[in-house]
Amino acid sequence: MRIRGRLKGRPEIAQAPMSDVAFLLLIFFLSTTIFDFEVGIPMVLPGVQSTRERVEREDVLEIATAADGTITIDGLPALLDSVEETVRARLNARPELTVFLVTHPSVPYRRMVELLDEVRAARARRIMLKLGEG
Amino acid sequence: MRERRRLPRGARIPTASMADIAFLLLIFFLTSTIFRLETGLEVDLPRADSGIGAARTRSAHIWLDRTGELAVDDRIVDLETLEQVLGAKLRASGELIVSLQIDEEVPYEMVDRLIGALRRANIRNVRLGTEEDPAAP
């Protein structure tokens, strides 16, 4: 024979600890959340089958970094700080300017990014990365 | 003459809505939290001022450390298998942004080879991972 227990009064679900649990979970997620965000220089690479484009010699500015880290702009020695100004001046004269960044194979990547940063600061839009001759 | 307003007896701050707010915030953090599983390789990123912040969605990460070790997301690969791995990722996602986390001391020759492999894998959108320069204004 089954014995039925009688419920006393009105049954209720205790709601008070629910907010405590919610706050505990809230603190956990607040402290563990990482907003996935990163910083970088966006670039669009040319496709493998991209057509070759002809550019006039006057529309090209070649910035080369030698093995010892020295910079030349169109063959003339230059300082990193002067790159932005030079590119800006050339861009004013030739808005379709393409900047060639020629980097020696043994030069650290940091050096190329520094130059790229200067060229981007001058608002050059057509930039080509090229490996120099070792 | 100033009239004083009387406070009603037994004035209370309503606390019932507090739990609602807690739940709303909880749902927000539950949905926005990403537990990052991939650790990648240890790299010192170069500093740049022109870097642009972006969300990490729809992107694959490639690490290249100063010893020349290469990793895609959480997998160590070599340059030859990199093309296959990226090709498979590209087919799966349709559009892929590849974030390059390259150590600043890596010789440019290795970077050039990596970019060449990306081009062969038909990757167009690339982001060169940088760090914000703390000295910049």
Best of A38, A63, A123 to substitute, by most chain B Cβ atoms within 10 angstroms, is A38
Distance of CA A45 to the CA centre of its chain: 14
Residue B82 lies in a domain: yes
Residue A97 lies in a domain: yes
Domain that holds residue A105: 58-131
CATH of the domain at A115: 3.30.420.270
Contact between chains at A109 and B103 (C-beta distance less than 8 A) = yes
Domain that holds residue B96: 47-132
Contact between chains at A112 and B111 (C-beta distance less than 8 A) = yes
Total structural domains in chain A? 1
* Interface check A5 vs B, CB under 8 A: no
Contact between chains at A36 and B103 (C-beta distance less than 8 A) = no
pLDDT on residue B39:
67
Residue A53 lies in a domain: no
Residue A75 lies in a domain: yes
Walk along chain B (137 residues) and give the pLDDT tens digit of each residue: 556 666 667 777 777 787 788 888 888 888 887 776 566 778 888 888 878 777 666 678 899 999 989 998 878 898 889 888 888 888 887 778 899 999 999 999 999 999 999 988 888 889 999 888 766 55
CA distance A71 to B76: 35
Residue B41 lies in a domain: no
Contact between chains at A131 and B106 (C-beta distance less than 8 A) = no
B49, closest residue in chain A (CA to CA): A117
* Interface check A104 vs B, CB under 8 A: yes
Alpha-carbon gap: B7 to the closest alpha carbon of chain A (Å): 28
Total structural domains in chain B? 1
Residue B39 lies in a domain: no
Residue A45 lies in a domain: no
**pLDDT tens digits, one per residue of A65-106:** 999 989 999 989 999 999 999 999 999 998 889 999 999 999
Chain A hits for B116, Cβ within 8 Å? none
Q: Is the pLDDT of residue A20 over 90?
A: no
Ramachandran quadrant class, A75 (left: phi over 0; alpha: psi -120 to 50; beta: rest): left
Residue A39 lies in a domain: no
Contact between chains at A29 and B56 (C-beta distance less than 8 A) = no
Residue B55 lies in a domain: yes
A114, closest residue in chain B (CA to CA): B48
Residue A106 lies in a domain: yes
| End-to-end alpha carbon distance in chain A | 96
In B33-97, alpha helices (H): 79-93
A39, closest residue in chain B (CA to CA): B53
CATH of the domain at B124: 3.30.420.270
Task: Kindly provide the ipTM of the predicted complex, given to two decimals.
Answer: 0.73
CA distance B80 to B90: 16
Contact between chains at A134 and B109 (C-beta distance less than 8 A) = yes
